[in-house]
A = this chain, B = another copy of it.
């Protein structure tokens, strides 16, 4: 049976740019375009030529290799011709191969927000699409508030679609602009629309305001639409747009869709998805969502001991798809509930091969449990787990030892009567019998200790040059300033790898220092594979 083709339309660079705190530079837009082509989307909507300098520059040349390079804009304003509408002209003059024009389809909106007649709105739509088609560009129309419009006045909403198609639009996209429509309503309305208009001319654009953007999108596909709009990692205004990173694997891996449809995404491209999603967050300088479907660091993580042993017997019991299909990996967490099978899996991930009946395994399990009872949590601190494992197994090289440290913070008034805070740290370390001491100032005791410890690591100095602290989290475990403090440090290096280390102490400075020390040790361990592999 031949499969029907679904088209993927990415609007990360246009609707996704409406996200609070997100602003793409020209370089960002070029980088995101490259990421999108890695996963094989069909259309890349790059922005709004004529709206700002970055978008003008971006649309000055063709930026895609395979995907259709698409510009966004508004249909012409009432009371002027297409030729005299600078917005429409900027779009037609751009290097885009396709143009997507937004038009209102809700009668109420046209009257309230635009203050024009319903006919005038259709006229603008018709003439804008015709002008784009005449210029040899693929034209499409985003029908804003389509579902609210259809509920209020189905005839007019349908007239908008027909007008656009008759004027030459390749696609008309049904937009749930305020994100409030439910899947059952999407299903009902799309079925009614596809009874009148061919579904292979229709698209869906959903928002996540009820947490159902993905479900709304898939409901629309089931009901007949054949173009899907969405963004990387669900970027977008308010609660975000439909997340293509979630939708794509469902379309390719779930028989309910995979048996009926094909997309432009190959199995190889699908396997790049986890990397693309995380690289995109990197570019946005934010921590990837560990719980994101398919690609999150926790998406295939199991904590419960009972689950872990069942998983070892048969992965399908707790994995709805094989993690490697999307480029992700299984991660069995080490936690209080951990059993030996969890531990073996975790060790394997770090390249440590050990027999199931090796007595050191019992020792490691006991050590992990003892430390977790004292407040450590290796779930989120995989690098510290690797160090602990190597230590218990006797395969951790003795890189350097800390002899002593001191950190002080003083707030006082200086000679000119200004209030100043001075933070200083001294760290004394020993490498191969040689004693090195460094002092540093910082904007806090932990920053100062970090700077002092890394200032001079002797023969290891060049190995940690690209080590960077990304995040630092503090949790007080029992409450009150006298309680136990758990510090989690996230680090990364030039290779793009991120790792997590942990420190626990009643003293926040001690706990932080421990996590910093472990981060450096992990970095050195990475750089010394011959030592790390000693257990094998």
Verify A113–B313 contact, CB threshold 8 A. yes
Known contacts A319-B178, A321-B180, A476-B472; is-contact A302 B237 (Cβ 8 Å):
yes
Provide the A17-38 mask, 1 if CB < 8 A to any CB of B, else 0.
0111101010100000000000
With A18-B303, A293-B211 already in contact, the answer to whether A476 and B473 are too (CB < 8 A) is yes
A436 in the interface (beta carbon within 8 A): no
In the complex, residue of chain B having the shortest beta-carbon distance to the beta carbon of A479? B471
- What 0/1 pattern do residues 33 to 52 of A give for CB contact below 8 A with B? 00000000000000000001
A345 interface hit (Cβ, 8 Å): no
8 Å CB interface, A474-519 against B: 474-483, 485, 490, 505-510, 513
Would B239 and A291 count as touching, CB distance under 8 A? yes
CA distance A336 to B412 in the complex (A): 32
Whether A256 contacts B182 in the complex (CB less than 8 A), given A214-B210, A291-B239, A409-B507, comes out as yes
Specify which of A215, A447, A483 lies most central, judged by the most chain B CB atoms within 10 Å of its CB: A215
Contacts of A243 in B (CB 8 A): 211
B298 touching A238, Cβ below 8 Å: yes
Do A479 and B472 contact each other (CB < 8 Å), given the known contacts A210-B254, A215-B214, A239-B292?
A: yes
A488, closest chain B residue (CB): B21
| CB within 8 Å for A469 and B477 given contacts A184-B222, A299-B239 | no
| A444 and B509 in contact, given A183-B215, A298-B238 (Cβ under 8 angstroms) | yes
Determine how close the nearest CB of chain B comes to the CB of A254; give it in whole angstroms: 6
A256 and B184 contact, CB distance less than 8 A: yes
Residues of A414-466 whose CB lies within 8 A of B: 421, 423, 442-447, 450
Contact of A513 among B408, B411, B505 (CB under 8 A): B411
The reply to whether A380 and B317 contact each other, CB–CB distance below 8 Å, is: no
Does A209 interact with chain B (Cβ within 8 Å)? yes
Q: With A and B bound together, what is the CA distance between A304 and B239 in angstroms?
A: 14
Given A178-B319, A476-B472, A510-B421, does the pair A239, B293 have CB atoms closer than 8 Å? Answer: yes
Q: Determine whether A530 belongs to the interface, using a CB cutoff of 8 Å to chain B.
A: no
With an 8 A cutoff between CB atoms, is A398 at the interface? no
Q: Which of B52, B246, B442, B480 contacts A481 (CB 8 A)?
A: B442
Q: Is the CB of B408 within 8 A of A403?
A: no
Residue pairs across A and B with Cβ atoms less than 8 A apart, 10 shown, are A18-B304, A145-B317, A212-B215, A405-B410, A405-B411, A406-B410, A408-B409, A409-B445, A445-B508, A450-B481
- What residues of chain A have their CB less than 8 Å away from a CB belonging to chain B? 18-21, 23, 25, 27, 52, 108-109, 112-113, 145, 177-180, 182-185, 208-212, 214-216, 218-219, 222, 234, 237-240, 243, 246-247, 250, 254, 256, 285, 287, 290-294, 296-304, 307, 309-310, 313-314, 316-321, 333, 335-336, 377, 379-380, 402-413, 421, 423, 442-447, 450, 468-483, 485, 490, 505-510, 513
What would 8 more interface pairs be, CB under 8 Å, given A183-B215, A237-B298, A444-B505? A18-B303, A20-B298, A109-B317, A210-B294, A212-B212, A215-B216, A237-B301, A444-B506
